[in-house]
Amino acid sequence: MGLKHITIASLATLGAVSALGTNQKPLVDNAQPQPQISGDSSSARPLVNSEDLQATISTEALLKRAKRLFKIARLSEDEYNHPTRVIGSEGHRGTLSYIHSTLAALSDYYTLSTQEFPAVSGAVFEYRLLIDLALAESAHPMGLTPPTHHKQPVDGSLVLVSNDGCRASDYPSTVKGNIALIQRGTCPFGTKSEHAGKAGAVAAVVFNYEDGPVGGTLGTPLDDHVATFGLSGTEAAPFVARLKAGETVEASAYMDAEVKTIQTSNIIAQTRAGDPDNCVMLGGHSDSVSEGPGINDDGSGSLTLLEVATQLTNFSVHNCVRFAWWAGEEEGLLGSDYYVDVLPAEENVKIRLFMDYDMLASPNFAYQVYDARNEVNPVGSQELRDLYVAWYVEHGLNYTFIPFDGRSDYDGFIKNGIPGGGIATGAEGIKTKEEVVLFGGEDGVPYDVCYHAICDTVNNLNLTAWELNTKLVAHSVATFARSLEGFPERTLDDASIKAAGAYAKGAKYHGSKLFI
Ligand SMILES: *[C@@H]1O[C@H](CO)[C@@H](O)[C@H](O)[C@H]1NC(C)=O
Ligand SMILES: *[C@@H]1O[C@H](CO)[C@@H](O)[C@H](O)[C@H]1NC(C)=O
Ligand SMILES: *[C@@H]1O[C@H](CO)[C@@H](O)[C@H](O)[C@H]1NC(C)=O
Ligand SMILES: [Zn+2]
């Protein structure tokens, strides 16, 4: 699950912040899985059914995998001083090899492929913004920011930019050699940084239109980007007032940062059996943020997929099942976006639906179902939503709808006409009193206090929620692997294209980062 309000990299953190490099072709092994209908032993297996597949799910098996994953996250300790599975780290490479080797052992049942893709990775080593000789406490570097000139402090006057700084004409000539102060809103942070750079600014500061701090990402790096900070509305207000009154405010900006392109991989496993023209697809993300080991986010979803994939091998399927472990989710849905971007149209229509499983075991959980609706999402999304609802109801459990707003890997799918949905148990949001009545737990506390933090360890998992949701994942797989009867057909007609467009307009996020 991506961030709602990002805070990037404290001084010592080698935070990796990335965006997808454009126009790059996969370097290796990028083929879609080559589906084969196997005439062998699979016919001896019973056809999958929900109850039997659910019955194979146990807390013990999940917990064992979680402990293994934490050990793998510790492989990054040399480089990061703490466990993490961020892309490019030993912990992430270890995660990929764990997933890959587990599936390779099931190679009579699955066709396995890895899809390598380039990810722009940014690291901020140190930063500082001084205004009027005082440290701006709420200043945070934007993701993928370039360094200041020669990675040294640069001095200048703050120059208030007109409007929202979305047009070149908003930047007065006095910006040249100085530090642009730009209000958040209307256009992406990356556009503001670009305009500031073109106008000759030595750094840019985007201040919030709300009281709180503002963080996000510049997105795809551009040559004209300058070192860019976010600043809280509260902290910016007195300086904005002074500049409007015609006073001069001096500032000094320092950013020691680096942006580079690294290669990372998605892993895809598809059943050899089952109709290859009608695939049920599901995914979780293999990576974590740099701040912690990510055992709930998204170790839980990734391991749920691995366990369900393992248990499925004792059954036969009518429809093909395709599992995906995405990389670079935390940097902005890089892996899933890449996958859908390079998917030819004739392959796109074979994916009947995509189910996203990101954070299934939050300690102060709610049973959340993405509120996917056919009016604004590809037709079939609502049927999927209702499958989850029916399961919770049947088990005497409560559920709550959450916005389907682009915060996880379903985003690329629904933007490309593929029905999608999923379940989650909550990230940094605060549990309400009403939700405590529905789910137990504590009100006024985040669903996951260890969201994107060092304490997202094995102890952060609620095993009750995890086992239950893994059974629901098994139910979703078994149901659609067995039959897609009555589930809306895929067509690339006007209706589904329009639906995708309507969604895109309403979406607030693209994965981890606010970009606007
Ligand atoms: C499949 O079923 C067999 C026989 O019941 C069992 O021994 C085996 O552990 C099962 N496989 C998996 C992956 O659970
Ligand atoms: C579901 O919510 C109701 C309140 O609407 C509550 O009384 C009940 O205990 C909840 N069920 C569970 C299983 O928590
Ligand atoms: C998980 O949640 C259940 C239900 O709220 C609670 O009874 C249990 O103590 C929790 N377990 C852990 C390990 O936090
Ligand atoms: Zn996640």
CB 432 within 8 A of CB 368: no
Active site residue 489: no
Q: Which ligand is nearest to the CA of 358?
A: 4
| Nearest CA residue ID for atom 2, ligand 1 | 314
Q: Are residues 168 and 284 in the same domain?
A: no
CB 123 within 8 A of CB 14: yes
Selected catalytic residue, list 329, 330, 331, 467: 329
Tell me if 436 is assigned to some domain.
yes
Tell me if 36 is assigned to some domain.
no
Query: Is the CB of 313 within 6 Å of ligand 1?
Result: yes
Burial of 221 (0-12, 13-18, 19+ CB in 10 A): buried
CB 141 within 8 A of CB 205: no
Q: Report how far ligand 2's centroid is from the alpha carbon of 429 (Å).
A: 21
Tell me if 22 is assigned to some domain.
no
| Nearest CA residue ID for atom 14, ligand 3 | 462
CB 479 within 8 A of CB 473: no
| Nearest CA residue ID for atom 6, ligand 1 | 314
pLDDT, one tens digit for every residue, the chain (516 residues): 765 433 222 222 223 333 333 333 333 333 444 444 444 455 589 999 999 999 999 999 999 999 999 999 999 999 889 999 999 999 999 999 999 999 999 999 999 999 999 998 887 889 999 999 999 999 999 999 999 999 999 999 999 999 999 999 999 999 999 999 999 999 999 999 999 999 999 999 999 999 999 988 898 899 999 999 999 999 999 999 999 999 999 999 999 998 988 999 999 999 999 999 999 999 999 999 989 999 999 999 999 999 999 999 999 999 999 999 999 998 889 999 999 999 999 999 999 999 999 999 999 999 999 999 999 999 999 999 999 999 999 999 999 999 998 889 999 999 999 999 999 999 999 999 999 999 999 999 999 999 999 999 999 999 999 999 999 999 999 999 999 999 999 986 644 554 455 555 545 566 656 677
Nearest in space to 309 (alpha carbons), one of 98, 488, 34? 98
Return the pLDDT at 106: 98
Nearest in space to 28 (alpha carbons), one of 248, 263, 332? 263
Ligand 2 pocket test, candidate residues 437, 439, 464, most atoms within 8 A of CB: 437
Return the pLDDT at 14: 27
DSSP state of 383: H
Nearest in space to 18 (alpha carbons), one of 303, 359, 337? 337
| Nearest CA residue ID for atom 12, ligand 3 | 462
In 10 A of CB 485, how many CB atoms?
A: 6
Query: Is the CB of 440 within 6 Å of ligand 3?
Result: yes
Range(s) of the domain holding residue 221: 133-248
Q: Are residues 221 and 268 in the same domain?
A: no
Return the pLDDT at 10: 26
- Per the structure, the count of domains in the chain is 2
Q: Are residues 86 and 217 in the same domain?
A: no
Domain boundary among 248, 269, 290: 248
What is the C-alpha separation between 140 and 160, in angstroms, rounded? Answer: 19
Tell me if 149 is assigned to some domain.
yes
Q: Which two tokens stand for residue 266?
A: 């998605």
Q: Report how far ligand 1's centroid is from the alpha carbon of 99 (Å).
A: 19
Query: Is the CB of 311 within 6 Å of ligand 1?
Result: yes
Q: Are residues 357 and 401 in the same domain?
A: yes
Domain boundary among 226, 248, 270: 248
Look up tokens 């309403």; give the residue.
506
- What is the domain-level CATH number for residue 138? 3.50.30.30
- What is the domain-level CATH number for residue 476? 3.40.630.10
Q: Report how far ligand 1's centroid is from the alpha carbon of 317 (Å).
A: 16
Backbone angles phi, psi at 288, to 5 degrees: -120, 180
Residues 6+ apart with CB under 8 A from 104: 112
Q: Which ligand is nearest to the CA of 85?
A: 4
Q: Which two tokens stand for residue 280?
A: 């049920």
What is the C-alpha separation between 46 and 39, in angstroms, rounded? Answer: 14
Nearest in space to 354 (alpha carbons), one of 461, 268, 452? 268
Tell me if 127 is assigned to some domain.
no
Angle between helices 463-482 and 301-312 (to 10 degrees): 50
Cα angle vertex 263, ends 260, 266, to 5°?
135
Q: Are residues 315 and 457 in the same domain?
A: yes
Q: Report how far ligand 1's centroid is from the alpha carbon of 314 (Å).
A: 6
Q: Report how far ligand 2's centroid is from the alpha carbon of 461 (Å).
A: 22
Q: Give the distance from CA 252 to its chain's centroid.
A: 33
| Nearest CA residue ID for atom 10, ligand 3 | 462
Q: Report how far ligand 3's centroid is from the alpha carbon of 446 (Å).
A: 15
Residues within 5 A (CB) of ion ligand 4? 1, 297-298, 358
Query: Is the CB of 41 within 6 Å of ligand 1?
Result: no
Ligand 1 atom closest to the Cα of residue 310 is 13
Q: Are residues 216 and 74 in the same domain?
A: no
Return the pLDDT at 494: 44
Q: Is the pTM of this model over 0.85?
A: no
For 154-194, strand residue ranges (E) read 154-160, 179-183
Cα angle vertex 276, ends 287, 356, to 5°?
30
Domain boundary among 220, 248, 276: 248
Q: Are residues 436 and 332 in the same domain?
A: yes
Q: Are residues 144 and 113 in the same domain?
A: no
Instruction: Show the DSSP H helices in 342-462 as ranges.
Output: 345-348, 381-394, 411-415, 433-439
| Nearest CA residue ID for atom 3, ligand 1 | 314
Q: Report how far ligand 2's centroid is from the alpha carbon of 270 (Å).
A: 38
Query: Is the CB of 314 within 6 Å of ligand 1?
Result: yes
Tell me if 37 is assigned to some domain.
no
Return the pLDDT at 515: 75
Tell me which amino acid residue 11 is.
L
Return the pLDDT at 5: 32
Q: Are residues 82 and 205 in the same domain?
A: no
Q: Which ligand is nearest to the CA of 428?
A: 4
Query: Is the CB of 58 within 6 Å of ligand 1?
Result: no
Q: Are residues 286 and 381 in the same domain?
A: yes
Q: Which ligand is nearest to the CA of 431?
A: 3
| Nearest CA residue ID for atom 3, ligand 2 | 438
Q: Are residues 273 and 415 in the same domain?
A: yes
What is the C-alpha separation between 1 and 451, in angstroms, rounded? Answer: 9
Query: Is the CB of 441 within 6 Å of ligand 3?
Result: yes
In 10 A of CB 486, how many CB atoms?
A: 6
Which amino acids bring their CB within 6 angstroms of ligand 2? 396-398, 437-438
Q: Which ligand is nearest to the CA of 439?
A: 2
In 10 A of CB 109, how many CB atoms?
A: 24
Query: Is the CB of 310 within 6 Å of ligand 1?
Result: yes
Q: Are residues 76 and 151 in the same domain?
A: no
Q: Report how far ligand 4's centroid is from the alpha carbon of 359 (Å).
A: 6
Tell me if 391 is assigned to some domain.
yes
What is the C-alpha separation between 279 and 266, in angstroms, rounded? Answer: 18
Return the pLDDT at 18: 32
CB 84 within 8 A of CB 93: no
**DSSP output for 279-305:** EEEEEEE----TTS--IIIIIIHHHHH
Residues 6+ apart with CB under 8 A from 186: 163, 164, 166, 516
Return the pLDDT at 496: 52
Return the pLDDT at 1: 73
Tell me if 280 is assigned to some domain.
yes
Return the pLDDT at 220: 86
